[in-house]
A and B are shown apart, each in its own frame.
Chain A
Amino acid sequence: MAKVVSIKRGLWEQLYLPELVRGVGITLKHFFVNTFGSKEIVTVRYPEEKREYPPRFRGVHRLMKREDGSVRCVACMMCSTICPAQCIYIVAGERGDGTAIEKVPVSFDIDELICVVCGMCVEACPCDAIRMDTGRHYPPVDRRDQAFMQKEDLLAAGGPNVAVQGGAGPDWRESYRPLGSDRQIYDREGKLAKQIKGS
């Protein structure tokens, strides 16, 4: 139900002129305060002054690096699958250095003009490889093809990430030592292969 609010106007208000003078007085007060007094101007002069973004602001994407400087992404396609705008294009390739990490993106392109900046790729990433914490907007571009960010561009803003990835490696059964308990390791046939003392 709409509530009807009736404003009571007396003769003084209906005369219009005194209320007009009052209104002009208010605006003139603002004028003089802003021109000569303590300036209460709310405008941000954009290119020179920038408003600080909140810490969880989602900006341009970046790809994080391992300690050796290679890309953290393992081309699992989670981000490109969940992306509602379908703007992430990944071509997976073989990493081939014998470690537990087998896949690597050969190319990793994001079309920043299609991106809706929802942040779901960051949520979906199991490796903490893609982030949107650069704090920058995507800059304006002149041509359509300039709006693509490629793997190199994404890596350029990326930093090292200290989280251990890929577990302990292919021989994790040997190195796995839960604290304070012994552990038996069985081989594929099911026979006891090794007894590890808890540390």
Chain B
Amino acid sequence: MFAIIVAALIKLVILLAFAISLAAVLTWMERRQSAMMQDRIGPERANLLPPRPGQVLGRLRLFGLVHPIADALKLAAKEDFVPPKAHRVLYAIAPILTLVPVLLVFAVIPFGPPVCMGALGAKAPDLAQCTRVELLQVAHLDIGLLFVFAIASLSAYGAALAGWASNSSYGLLGGMRATAQMFSYEITMGMTVMGAFLVYGTLEPMAIVQKQATFSQWGIVLQPLGFILFFVAAIAETKRAPFDLPEGESEILGFFVEYSGARFMMFYLGEFVEIVFAGCMITTIFLGGWQLPGLMADGLHWFGTVFSMPHWLVVLVQMATFMAKVFLCCFLQLAIRWSVPRMRYDQLMKLGWKGLLPASILNVVITAGVVLWSQAQVLPR
């Protein structure tokens, strides 16, 4: 019992350290990458050591990676302002309600293969023979992805409550928009994932990843339409451009207008953790999770030769593969965010209800037909 808790805690720490530090890096990447895309430099001035005499720039700037730390310190030092007529309890709960569900859903994300604890040094140990198999996944839930949808929906309450409780009409409008948008696109997301359920026959993320062993079995190959729909819906769920209607500097400011300091930081960090989570979901369902094409349990099978590896190295490489894929997804989301002009609100609703939703239903119907047909081929009459 104790060992299980310790193992779960270790896995939790690894995953959350990855997710939160990637989210912090993304706050820097968002600015630096957008700058590079627009022929600018971006933030690179924050430094850990003072400048040498006679120089302007400080030392240890790390390409600007110090900026997230500086931002966090600055936001933490800001005044924690509560609007005088705000609902104090809900005002305090709202940022927690946006951040905590996003962190919770990481529990079902498999970030590595099943590990045979007794035979780390062995080559390709048989998992069936292992006395203790540790899944690199915090919670092995059979309802996996349903859990994700159930919990992730809660963050809509965070946005709605933040807008309502701060007693500001701008905040309220932003909250309403956020709620409507998240509900609209969650349906598309659910419908899209349905196609993947039909193909892989399971809701459990670890099992889904294990069924994507070769590249031709990846979700992006079997469900190309589903991948595109899911990607679009995931960007809409993170409430970022081109779907950043809940916040708009020129019109309604957003559901967290009245928030400042550490509470605002929770919204801000929550947004970037959502990006990381969207990347994790896309990676798990459509990009083969921790699977690297050609990497088998006994080593790399590339270019006709076999680079043999011990079990622990295979596990590490597969974990790194997962993280690299998530990073790539985040990079792509940021690239889209800085390339595409934002939509109008009616265009957003039109795209959601008249474009993506029918397309996702079509995707489910076609996938179901193909799956039924292929099963009919296999099963005896």
Contact = CB atoms under 8 A, between A and B. Distances in A.
Contact of A43 (B37, B40, B56, B340): B40
A41 interface: yes
A42 B228 CA distance: 35
Interface residues of B, number: 16
A31 B33 contact: yes
Interface in B314-372: 332, 335-336, 338-340
Interface stretch (A18-26, A78-86, A94-102, A164-172): A18-26
B56 A27 contact: no
A11 B33 CA distance: 32
B329 to A, nearest CB: 14
Interface string A35-47: 1000011110101
Nearest to A32: B36
B41 A41 contact: yes
A30 B57 contact: no
Contacts of A34: 36-37, 39
A52 interface: no
Nearest to B242: A20
A35 to B, nearest CB: 5
A24 B39 contact: no
B228 A27 contact: no
A131 B40 CA distance: 36
A43 B44 CA distance: 13
A27 B338 contact: yes
B339 A27 contact: yes
Interface in A46-95: 47-48
A17 interface: yes
A20 B241 CA distance: 13
B38 interface: yes
A156 interface: no
A72 to B, nearest CB: 36
Contacts of B340: 20, 23-24
A113 to B, nearest CB: 26
Nearest to B55: A48
Contacts of A116: none
Given A17-B228, A48-B57, A30 B38 contact: yes
A106 interface: no
- The binding surface of chain B is classed by DSSP as loop
Contact of B40 (A17, A42, A47): A42
A85 to B, nearest CB: 33
Contacts of A17: 228
A28 B41 contact: no
Nearest to A44: B41
Contacts of A28: 37, 335, 339
Interface string A122-164: 0000000000000000000000000000000000000000000
A6 B33 CA distance: 34
B45 to A, nearest CB: 9
Interface string B35-73: 011111100000000000000110000000000000000
A23 B39 contact: no
A43 B41 contact: yes
A35 B335 CA distance: 14
A159 B350 CA distance: 71
A188 to B, nearest CB: 67
Given A23-B339, A23-B340, A41 B40 contact: yes
Nearest to A17: B228
22 contacts: A20-B336, A20-B340, A23-B340, A24-B332, A24-B335, A26-B339, A27-B338, A27-B339, A28-B37, A28-B335, A28-B339, A30-B38, A30-B39, A31-B33, A31-B36, A31-B37, A34-B37, A35-B36, A40-B39, A41-B36, A41-B39, A48-B56
Given A20-B336, A20-B340, A31-B37, 6 more contacts: A23-B340, A24-B336, A24-B340, A27-B338, A41-B41, A45-B41
Which 10 A/B pairs are nearest by Cβ-Cβ distance? A27-B339, A27-B37, A34-B36, A43-B41, A31-B37, A24-B339, A47-B56, A23-B339, A31-B36, A43-B40
